[in-house]
Chains A and B, each alone.
Chain A
Amino acid sequence: MSDSPSAPLTTADGVPLKVSLRRASRRLKIKALLLVSPLLAFLIIAFVMPIFDMLWRSVDNPEVSNALPHTVEALENWDGESLPDEPVFAALAQDLKTGQEARNLGLVSSRLNYEKSGMRSAVMGTARRLSRIEPPYKTALIDANDAWGELDTWQLIERESAPYTLSYYLAAVDMQYTPSGEIVEVPDYLQIHLALFWRTFWMSGLITLLTLVLGYPIAFLLANLPARRANLLMILVLLPFWTSLLVRTTTWIAILQSQGVLNDVMVALGVIADEMRWQMIYNKTGTITAMTHILLPFMILPLYSVMKTIPPSYMRAARSLGGKPFLSFRRVYFPLTIPGIAAGGILVFILSIGYYITPALVGGQSGRFITNYIAYHMQTSLNWGLAAAIASILLFVVIVFYMIFNRLIGVDKVKLG
């Protein structure tokens, strides 16, 4: 990109030089962009868009306003303190009739049922009997189902007629709206998600700690053994990566179940009585054991990559300066491995709080994670809004941890090998 003396770009004030530089590097940038574009497109379609879809679903609230448009409109001038008047009931009857004909009352009836139990049968039952219902609609509908005579039903319909709602997030943290619109905790016997979040976090923390305790010496050996033996060890570390996750998890079932290998050996050795077999699977122990095993490489590899860069002469220097072995380790070697510990820790912890298959298979009832409830709401209760809200909270927690990590250590320190 050299310019001939006659070209206008050769002024000496510097700005045109920038222009020419930008032009020269533009082609390179375009080339680079083209090279990554397949992956970029894949990521946008398969990763970024689903995440935004999830975030959107966690607040999206179209059911009531779509299915009951006239009712919503008629409720606009309602004072909200006593039962609405005849026109609102007439509008509801009309909406239900339209909905019954179009067969699309299912969504709104489940939506209202999330907030107030009995609403599904109120909507569906009333709609079925609509042909026999005559004006005046107010008394007729209340006759058909008591729910229409309750004030909080109408407060609910009015509240959920808004296009966006926080009620999924409230449900995800075991809260709810009162009929009058205040936010309160749900009754004790309905509380489930907060305990699960808490369990997910402390068990993930414990798993992270266990992988650190087990992985640190292995990473140290990997980094310090002669190359030939270190390679063999590395293969052993990576072996779990080459085995299906399901195989690894079910192997733990074979080992840990009450008629499994470990219990059989213990009974045979007389350590435990036959009728006192240890319950090591389908509970927290099962989840922690299997996940520690599965996530171990994610701790070892970042640790190893950091330890490999620490020359053995540091420890030698510390020893020659008079440091006892453990003190030298604590003062010199250990501080230098902190970036590896943080990188491995954040990796294992983030993977762990989002883990699904292993807790589902070996966790039983007490060893389940919040992810298993996301799946439950996705597949069984079909409350996608709630599933999306729980998932969004998890995503938020991961981002917070990531930012703390980046602030303290720096993301560029994370290396896998």
Chain B
Amino acid sequence: MTQPLAAATSAPAESEDESLFARFIDVQKSYDGVELVVKGFNLDIRRGEFVTLLGPSGSGKTTCLMMMAGFETPTHGEILLKDTPINGLPPHKRGIGMVFQNYALFPHMTVAENLAFPLEVRGLSKDEIKQKVKQTLEKVQLGDFGDRRPAQLSGGQQQRVALARALVFEPDLVLMDEPLGALDKNLREEMQYEIKRIHADLGVTMIYVTHDQTEALTMSDRIAVFNDGVVQQLASPETLYEEPDNAFVAYFIGENNRLVGEVTEKQGETCTVRLDSGEKVMAKPVAVDGPGSRTTLSLRPERVSILGEDDAARFDNVFTARVKEVIYLGDHLRTRLAVCGSDEFILKTPNASGHHSLRPGQDIQVGWCSADCRALDA
């Protein structure tokens, strides 16, 4: 499943240094000698890149991060940092900044002392420390908070301090383990942009772990989608959303209608799939073998259109659907339909002026292009 370095459309183009900054080579990890938590993880990270490890809990993404930080040793495989193997290197010699899930700010030290810690252990002079702490605190907009204790700060401020502490000693690589998990929604979005801004300002390489797909899509240059210890797909946010490689990625990233059936015919860029309920659907073969193989069709809700009387010709898939439920969401409408043997078929329509007003029980015509309907693994 693991893909070698897919070309990322939004990867920083200016990176002169083409050598790979950090690499996981065939890394495996087992805690009990019975089960593999990480099964053959490969990832190449370029300098200045923002890479997110995304997956449900227990998928092995945090373990990978901990192996990079040095808190876990790989059972097999190698981790390289700037072309140097670091498997045997203790955490404090790696020079990697890390932001922890619950920030791990030292409660008995003030904010300034927390930031000074990594500088003190590196033997910087008092003046240098003072200056760097001040600069870094200003960078995260907490210039006046140096004398406070972590407990006197709000969650968002603690988050900023944790970020500042991971950055203050100017590491080349910063790891973040679900850093925004404890914040409420608004603050989380604010911090996403903040981290993104700092990443762009400093040009530091970041590896970010989250289970929140929106967060991953917003922030990352590339995303590695984890499931069950394996990277399902490694690609830019656009590619992940538009062109998922398999059913898990399609399901995990964004909303997705799933139709299950069997391939009956495959001709070049299209194939015909007979659903279990009997309908024939034209789809784009992505991860199917030939006729006779089982497949899951993935179709984004916003790529399905409601048809008028005469525009049926535009789509190669047209079906009659019954409206089951309409949910008003302000900027768009979610309509649940019964079509192609599924009761959970979702249709998203923008709340444009003069949109169709649908009622439950009504029969409508819906259609989609075969190019938007991806035939993935079963």
Query: Which A positions have Cβ atoms within 8 angstroms of B?
Result: 311, 313-314, 316-325, 327-328, 331-332, 335-336
Asked, given contacts A322-B121, A324-B121, A332-B106, whether A317 binds B92 with beta carbons under 8 Å apart, the answer is: no
Q: In this complex, what residue of A is CB-closest to B118?
A: A321
Asked, given contacts A319-B90, A322-B95, A324-B92, whether A311 binds B102 with beta carbons under 8 Å apart, the answer is: yes
Q: In this complex, what residue of B is CB-closest to A320?
A: B98
Contacts of B118 in A (CB 8 A): 321-323
Segment 145-182 of B: residues with Cβ below 8 Å from A: 165-166, 169
Q: How far is the CB of A310 from chain B (nearest CB, A)?
A: 9
Complex contact B71–A316 (CB within 8 A): yes
Contacts of B71 in A (CB 8 A): 316, 319-320
Docked Cα-Cα span, A78 to B324, in Å, equals 116
**Interface size on B (CB < 8 Å)?**
26
Q: In this complex, what residue of B is CB-closest to A314?
A: B104
Pick the 5 closest A-B CB pairs, nearest first: A321-B118, A317-B104, A313-B104, A319-B91, A320-B98
Segment 125-148 of B: residues with Cβ below 8 Å from A: none
Complex contact B92–A336 (CB within 8 A): no
CB of B356 closer than 8 Å to a CB of A:
no
Q: Chain B: interface secondary structure? A: loop
Q: In this complex, what residue of A is CB-closest to B71?
A: A316
Complex contact A311–B92 (CB within 8 A): no
Q: In this complex, what residue of B is CB-closest to A327?
A: B121
CB of B100 closer than 8 Å to a CB of A:
yes
Complex contact B117–A318 (CB within 8 A): yes
Docked Cα-Cα span, A146 to B118, in Å, equals 84
Sample of 7 further A-B pairs with CB below 8 A, known A318-B117, A321-B166, A336-B108: A313-B100, A319-B90, A320-B96, A320-B166, A321-B98, A321-B121, A324-B121
Contact of B121 among A313, A316, A323, A335 (CB under 8 A): A323
Q: How far is the CB of B340 from chain A (nearest CB, A)?
A: 48
Contacts of B69 in A (CB 8 A): 316, 320
Contacts of B92 in A (CB 8 A): 319-325, 328
Q: In this complex, what residue of B is CB-closest to A315?
A: B104
Contacts of B244 in A (CB 8 A): none
Q: List 18 A-B contacts (CB under 8 A).
A: A311-B102, A313-B100, A314-B104, A316-B69, A316-B71, A317-B105, A319-B90, A320-B91, A320-B92, A320-B98, A321-B92, A321-B97, A321-B166, A322-B92, A325-B90, A327-B121, A331-B117, A336-B107
Asked, given contacts A313-B102, A316-B104, A336-B107, whether A321 binds B165 with beta carbons under 8 Å apart, the answer is: yes
Q: How far is the CB of A76 from chain B (nearest CB, A)?
A: 66
Contacts of A328 in B (CB 8 A): 92
Asked, given contacts A327-B121, A328-B92, A331-B117, whether A320 binds B97 with beta carbons under 8 Å apart, the answer is: yes
Q: In this complex, what residue of A is CB-closest to B96?
A: A320
Contacts of B165 in A (CB 8 A): 317, 321
Docked Cα-Cα span, A331 to B70, in Å, equals 20
CB of B270 closer than 8 Å to a CB of A:
no
Contacts of B98 in A (CB 8 A): 316-317, 320-321
CB of B101 closer than 8 Å to a CB of A:
yes
Complex contact B107–A316 (CB within 8 A): no
